[in-house]
Amino acid sequence: MNLTPPSLEASLNEDNAVAPTNNSTPEPSVQSHSFTKSPPECPPENLQVSEVSIPSKLIVQNDNLRKQLKKVKRQNQELMKKLKEEHSKAERYRKKCERKIEQKPARTISEKFHSRAAKKLSSERKKRVEAFLQLDENSILLPGKKDTIGRKDKKQRRILTSTLQDLHKVFNDKSDKLHRMSYRQFTRYKPFYITQPKSCDRNKK
């Protein structure tokens, strides 16, 4: 008698039927699985390319910005040097103006008039001294052609008959109080062609 239930027999028959099919074709199933897994390896390469390209652009931009920053710094240094030079020039000019203001204060109308009168008086004194020294009793004219003096304005030489100290005293005695002067002024107003006698001029008198 067959005591096994019909459900067990059916399950055994199904296992026996499936087993030979699995043993007969093991290789094709493995190859099919290998083909399905290989294609997904490509996307990571594309991802790597995109990740490298973005930082390279940033590096280039960073280098350009650094170069621009160095250029701006150099320009800033040059401008600061020029600014310091201009400040120093302005400071020197200010000090110069202050010194001039301290030395030469602003003149009033009376002071200007006084300066004009002083110039007129000095010109009159100079003319008087020239006329006094050109007198024959105070100086002698040398007649020789070589007895000239001066480069642009050549004039005939005249030699003094006495010393300048004595002539100064005589001049102050004869002139009024307004036209009297010191010995220094008297020598300053003396013409250049009236000189002291030399040793070679003694025979020419």
Say whether both 94 and 138 belong to one domain. Answer: no
Looking at residue 55, what is its pLDDT?
Answer: 72
Say whether both 86 and 136 belong to one domain. Answer: no
Say whether both 100 and 130 belong to one domain. Answer: no
Using CB atoms within 10 Å of the CB of residue 123, give its burial: 0 to 12 exposed, 13 to 18 middle, 19+ buried.
Answer: exposed
Closest CA to 160 of 196, 200, 126: 196
Q: What confidence tens digit (pLDDT) does each residue in 181-192 have? A: 999 999 999 988
Q: What confidence tens digit (pLDDT) does each residue in 15-71 have? A: 554 444 444 444 444 444 444 445 555 545 444 444 445 578 888 888 889 999 999
Domain closes at, from 106, 139, 173: 106
Q: Give CA 169 to chain center in angstroms.
A: 60
pLDDT at 72 over 90: yes
Q: What span, in angstroms and rounded, lies between the C-alpha atoms of 49 and 51?
A: 5
Q: What span, in angstroms and rounded, lies between the C-alpha atoms of 28 and 49?
A: 36
Could you list the residue range(s) of the whole structural domain that residue 64 is in? 57-106
**Domain total for the chain?**
2
pLDDT at 132 over 60: yes
Does a structural domain hold residue 27? no
Does a structural domain hold residue 62? yes
Amino acid at 191: P
pTM of the model: 0.42
